[in-house]
Amino acid sequence: MTSGERLVKSRQRVSDHGEVFTPRWLVDDMLDLVKGETERIDSRFLEPACGSGNFLVPVLERKLAAVQARHGRSDFEKRHYALYALMCIYGIELLADNAQECRENLAGTFARYLKLGADDQVWLRAAQAVLAANIVQGDALKLTDARGEHIVFPEWGYLGRGKYQRRDFRFDSLARKAAFDGLFAAFEEHDVFAPVKSYPAMTVQEIAA
């Protein structure tokens, strides 16, 4: 455990929810087991008990390192691929305060990487919009959100030239599909795993709005 790293918020939360956070050294060791996937910008990671982001923040850091290595010479491409890296990270968390902390920690990691300033608020708002959809307060075992409704996750894609696509899928359908082909595997048009909603191509400004 690193200095100042807190693994328990309270004994009551441990008793009520079994809440114990994973230390960073162990997270890094586990991610090294799938190192190739963590360094792919477009690989998708879902943490079904994401806490405040102990796993997801290091995954994003590795993805952003890949963005820097591949697109760091172009500010346009670096920014758009950094947002795409964020789009490929998903989490479910039972407790509302943890879910919000996770969103804030991921947004902070994204903002620090891009060195976002006062003139870059559209990028921060876009990141927050993505995280509002990708990090869900809910119960991963029941496959429901905090309102008791089906969890819905967006599938994001980067089309190039500053345009993104989005399709929303129910998590229970994705979970069944993933057992065979992986999360957000190629869907056939006649498949029962059709999106519940599709969106026109969007710019960063449109996502932020």
Going by pLDDT thresholds of 50, 70 and 90, the confidence category of residue 18 is very low
- 86: its two tokens: 């964020």
**Could you give the CA distance from residue 127 to residue 166 in angstroms, rounded to a whole number?**
14
Answer yes or no: is pLDDT of 94 > 50.
yes
Residues 168-175: contacts with CB under 8 Å, at least 24 apart: 168/195, 168/196, 168/197, 168/198, 169/193, 169/195, 169/196, 170/196, 171/92, 171/143, 172/143, 175/143
Please give the average per-residue pLDDT across 50-72, as a whole number. 97
pTM of the model: 0.86
**Could you give the CA distance from residue 149 to residue 28 in angstroms, rounded to a whole number?**
34
Average pLDDT, the chain: 88
Please give the average per-residue pLDDT across 147-171, as a whole number. 97
**Under 8 Å between Cβ of 174 and 183:** yes
